[in-house]
Structure 1
Amino acid sequence: GGGGHRNAAGGTLEVPMDEAKGTLIRAVTEELDRA
């Protein structure tokens, strides 16, 4: 996570992207850990 949600206008695109990236990485990590 980064400091993207400091200002709503500037971080609008940054926050969801960061969150989506984190979710994707977490999913991949869990899959690899399972295998």
Structure 2
Amino acid sequence: MAGQRKGTWTVRVSGNWRITFTFDGVDACDVDLEDYH
């Protein structure tokens, strides 16, 4: 992603839903399920 969310990765789940997360080394952190509407 860009802007304030630079470094955040996304995985499309279904429709508008995305799992978003960042990495701390090899560990996924700040994992969230978001509705990208």
With the shorter chain as reference, the TM-score category is under 0.3
- Rg: which structure is higher? 1
Larger proportion of helix: 1
Structure with the bigger percentage of strand: 2
